[in-house]
C-alpha cells in the first residue's frame, strides 16, 4: 500500500492547522492551555515538533532534509522576534542576533539554489560548516550569558549593537551580491578541477574586491559579536576569521592561477582581495 502525496491545498490546510493549534485549545477551554500554552516559547517548541512530524509525512529524502532545516531556521526567526518583543531589555539584542544568524544560513541555501543549483546540497545551508565554527558560536553564547548575568546593563541596546547590525547587514548583502554576480562560478567548496563552464569573473563587485564573498562574511561575523556586545568574541572572531580567510585565499588563488594563468595574475595586480593585510598568492610574471 502506498500513501498518496498530499496536494498543494492539503499542505496549506495542514500548515494552517498547525499555526492555529494554540487558538484551538483556547476555544475548547482545555485546562492544559492555561497551564502551558501561555508560555510562548513552549508553544513554539510544540508547534516545531508537530511540524516536523507533518514534514516527515509529506516529504522524504533530500526534500525532507531541506524542509526540516528551513522550518528550523524559520522557527529561530520566530523565537528571535518573540525575544525582541517581550523579553527584558538586556535580552533583546540576542533576539536580533538570532534573526541575523538564521537569515544568513537560510539565504546561503537560497542563493545557491538560485544561482548554481547543480552544486546544491544540504551543506549549502552552511549549518555544519566546521567544528571551529560551532565552537565559535557556542563561545559567543556563553560570553553573552555570563556577561549579562553579572553586568545586565552591558547588554542593553546601544550604538555599538546597532553598528553591529548595520555591519552584519552590509556584509550579508555584499556576500549575496558576490554569489549572484558569480552565478554558476560560485561554490562553497574550493574547486580543484576547472569545469568546462568555469569563467573568471571580474565585473560588478568583483571589480572592487577579488574575494567579495569572503569580505562580506568577515564583516558579517564581526558584526554579529558587536550586536551582542561581546568584547572578547569581537577580538577572537576578528583574529580567527582573518587567519581562516588568509589561508583559504592562498589555497584558492593557487587553483585560480592554475585555471586562468596570466589572466588571473593580471586581475590580481588590478584588484585587491578586499580583506585587510591579505594579499593572496602572487607570482612574478
Q: What digits encode the pLDDT tens for the residues 11-57?
A: 566 556 556 655 555 555 555 444 554 566 677 677 778 888 888 88
Count of CB atoms within 10 A of residue 86's CB?
Answer: 12
CATH fold for the domain made of 129-284: 1.20.120
Instruction: State the Cα torsion 32-33-34-36 to the nearest 10°.
Output: 80
- Report yes or no: 200 and 257 within 8 Å, Cβ to Cβ: no
Residue 82: band (very low, low, confident or very high) from pLDDT cuts 50, 70, 90: confident
- Report yes or no: 182 and 115 within 8 Å, Cβ to Cβ: yes
Domain residue ranges in the chain: 29-127, 129-284
Least confident interval from 3-12, 38-47, 108-117, 146-155: 3-12
Residue 221's nearest CA partner among 112, 110, 122, 139 is 139
Predicted pLDDT of residue 192:
87
- Report yes or no: 187 and 119 within 8 Å, Cβ to Cβ: yes
Q: How far is CA 142 from CA 137, 205, 220, 233, 239, in A?
A: 9, 36, 20, 10, 19
Q: pTM of the prediction?
A: 0.85
Least confident interval from 61-65, 137-141, 221-225: 61-65
Amino acid at each position: 500500500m502506498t500513501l498518496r502525496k498530499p496536494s498543494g491545498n492539503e499542505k496549506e490546510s495542514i500548515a494552517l492547522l498547525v499555526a492555529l493549534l494554540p487558538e484551538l485549545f483556547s476555544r475548547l477551554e482545555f485546562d492544559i492551555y492555561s497551564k502551558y500554552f501561555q508560555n510562548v516559547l513552549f508553544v513554539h517548541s510544540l508547534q516545531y515538533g508537530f511540524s516536523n512530524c507533518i514534514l516527515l509525512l509529506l516529504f522524504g529524502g533530500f526534500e525532507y532534509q531541506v524542509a526540516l532545516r528551513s522550518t528550523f531556521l524559520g522557527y529561530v526567526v520566530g523565537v528571535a522576534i518573540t525575544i525582541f518583543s517581550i523579553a527584558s531589555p538586556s535580552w533583546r539584542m540576542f533576539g536580533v542576533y538570532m534573526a541575523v544568524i538564521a537569515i544568513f544560513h537560510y539565504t546561503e541555501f537560497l542563493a545557491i539554489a538560485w544561482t548554481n543549483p547543480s552544486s546544491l546540497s544540504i551543506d549549502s545551508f552552511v549549518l555544519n560548516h566546521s567544528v571551529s565554527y560551532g565552537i565559535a558560536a557556542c563561545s559567543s553564547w556563553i560570553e553573552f550569558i555570563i556577561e549579562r548575568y553579572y553586568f545586565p546593563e552591558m547588554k542593553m541596546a546601544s550604538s555599538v549593537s546597532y553598528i553591529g547590525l548595520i555591519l552584519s547587514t552590509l556584509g550579508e548583502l555584499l556576500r549575496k551580491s558576490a554569489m549572484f554576480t558569480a552565478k554558476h562560478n560560485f561554490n562553497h567548496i574550493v574547486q580543484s578541477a576547472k569545469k568546462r563552464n568555469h569563467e573568471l569573473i571580474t565585473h560588478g563587485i568583483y571589480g572592487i574586491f577579488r574575494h567579495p564573498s569572503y569580505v562580506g562574511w568577515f564583516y558579517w561575523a564581526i558584526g554579529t559579536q558587536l550586536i551582542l556586545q561581546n568584547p572578547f568574541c569581537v577580538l577572537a572572531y576578528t583574529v580567527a576569521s582573518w587567519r581562516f580567510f588568509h589561508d583559504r585565499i592562498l589555497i584558492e588563488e593557487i587553483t585560480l592561477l592554475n585555471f586562468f594563468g596570466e589572466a588571473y595574475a593580471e586581475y590580481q595586480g588590478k584588484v585587491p582581495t578586499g580583506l585587510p593585510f591579505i594579499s593572496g598568492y602572487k607570482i612574478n610574471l
